[in-house]
A and B are shown apart, each in its own frame.
Chain A
Amino acid sequence: MDKQLDVCFDRVEKALGTLVDSIAKYHPSVAQVNELGLADVELNKGLEDLQTHQSNYRRIQDLRAATTSFDTQIKDTLRLLANTRKELVNAPATVFPSDRPSYDIDYDELLAYASRISKTTIPPAGAANGISTEPKAENSGGPGTETAATTPAGGTPNGALTGAATPANINGAQQQQDPASQSQQLVASSGGDGVAAQDELPWKLNPFSDVEFVPWPSEESVRKGALATLAFLSEKGVDPENYDPEEEKARKEREKEEQQAAEERERQEREERERRVREEQARLRAEREKEQREAWRRASVTGGAGPSQSSPVGEKKQFQFMADDDEDDDE
């Protein structure tokens, strides 16, 4: 580009020089003037080219910068990709032992199971707050620490008492420590066989939550369970096989009901009999009374008195009888 321009300039310069020489020699020529004009036109064209060239050059530079940045980006991406791949390859995957069978587990089933065991596998939310299961420094080394854990039933009420007596010991750690130190004193003579210090059991996780939590069936529930029932039955000498207390109870109830029904029937029959006897007696009595009344009436009629008003309350039969009698009297 520079050479091209140089040529243009040279041409203009030469034309100008020739023209100036010719003018200096007082012998100008039109051809030389034209030559200068042409050279000037050429120079202008050259300058335009230069401008284009410059803008092209600038564009090239821009493009180069863009390429560089894209290169960097590609490199970064590749590097990231490579690193990620490396990480992926190195990521520890769960190794399923080939000697054990694996099972397909339904997602819903798994969630249902998780919600079912949430009550029995972790302590209630309030109870786990603010407790630490770290070994307590104050208790370390003492052989009585385990004993503190061994007697949670005895230790806990003590702790509650101590807490009530000294309200200053509000924090749970202090309160939990008290039964420990107490039982430590209690068993100081018996301990000392060189056992390692254990963590104190968080039986009462939060002393204020009043919740005892253990991640297994409590002794109470074991005592109340089916096995205890079976043991009780076998102690009574009952073969538990095919023995169902519920059915047994139902059977007894059924028998009792049947007995009651039989008694009821018998009672009804007895009442029926008694009723019949009573009716019979009443009838006999009524007949007797009627005869008696008849006798009285006859006696009174023969005695001259009017129709007796003394017995209008008799039975219907008797009344009819009397009515007939009255009619007879009226006639």
Chain B
Amino acid sequence: MDVEMQQSPPPLPADNEPKYGGFSRFEIELEFVQSLANPFYLNHLASQKLLNEPAFVAYLSYLRYWTRPPYLKYLIYPGPTLKHLELLQEERFRQEIISPELVYALAAEGAKAAVEWHRE
């Protein structure tokens, strides 16, 4: 994945593309960026000390291509995904997501927003 960071975003799904363990790069990165929507997964990443690694931070920065078309429309959890992706660009957030309180606050906020956003 370190290699991919220097590259441009992956091409949209097509036939006959190279596969990694049976998955295209597009599929893998889509899955990963959406996993970031899960606060508990963020906490897990933090507990693996991944969020402190410069390579990983650079990868997070690279993943911001998901905020733009034509990739944007493939996110099926757009709200939390984009929010967390943006937050993860912040050094302070990367440090503090290790705290369970923040994780639960994020989870509660996300769940609440999903229920209430259309009631405003």
- Listed in ascending order, the chain A residues whose CB lies under 8 Å from chain B are 101, 103, 105, 109, 113, 116-117, 119-123, 128, 131, 133, 146, 149-150, 195-196, 198-203, 205, 213-219, 222, 225-227, 229-230, 233, 238, 240-247
Contact = CB atoms under 8 A, between A and B. Distances in A.
B14 interface: no
A122 B21 contact: no
Interface in B57-94: 68-69, 73, 75-81
Given A121-B79, A217-B37, A218-B38, A198 B28 contact: no
Interface of B: 18-23, 27-28, 31-32, 34-35, 37-41, 68-69, 73, 75-81, 100-101, 104-105, 107-108, 110-118
Given A216-B37, A240-B20, A244-B19, A121 B78 contact: yes
Given A216-B37, A218-B38, A242-B18, A226 B23 contact: yes
B103 to A, nearest CB: 9
Given A121-B79, A218-B38, A229-B22, 17 more contacts: A117-B76, A120-B77, A121-B76, A121-B114, A122-B117, A200-B108, A202-B115, A213-B111, A214-B110, A214-B111, A215-B79, A215-B111, A217-B34, A217-B37, A217-B77, A222-B41, A246-B22
Contacts of A247: 22
* Chain B binding surface SS class: helix
Contacts of A216: 34, 37-39, 77, 80-81, 110
A229 B23 CA distance: 9
B116 A133 contact: yes
Contacts of A201: 104, 107-108, 111
Contacts of B76: 116-117, 119-121
Nearest to B105: A198
Given A222-B41, A242-B18, A198 B104 contact: yes
Most A-side CB within 10 Å, residue of B22, B34, B81, B113? B22
A240 B34 CA distance: 21
A116 B78 CA distance: 11
B114 A122 contact: yes
Contact of A121 (B31, B77, B105): B77
A230 B28 contact: yes
A25 B111 CA distance: 121
29 contacts: A116-B76, A120-B77, A121-B78, A122-B115, A133-B111, A149-B108, A150-B104, A198-B104, A200-B108, A201-B107, A201-B108, A202-B111, A202-B112, A202-B115, A213-B111, A213-B114, A214-B114, A215-B80, A215-B114, A216-B37, A216-B81, A216-B110, A217-B31, A217-B35, A219-B40, A230-B23, A238-B21, A242-B18, A246-B22
A128 B107 CA distance: 17
Nearest to B78: A117
Given A150-B100, A202-B111, A215 B77 contact: yes
Contact of A225 (B35, B39, B78, B111): B35
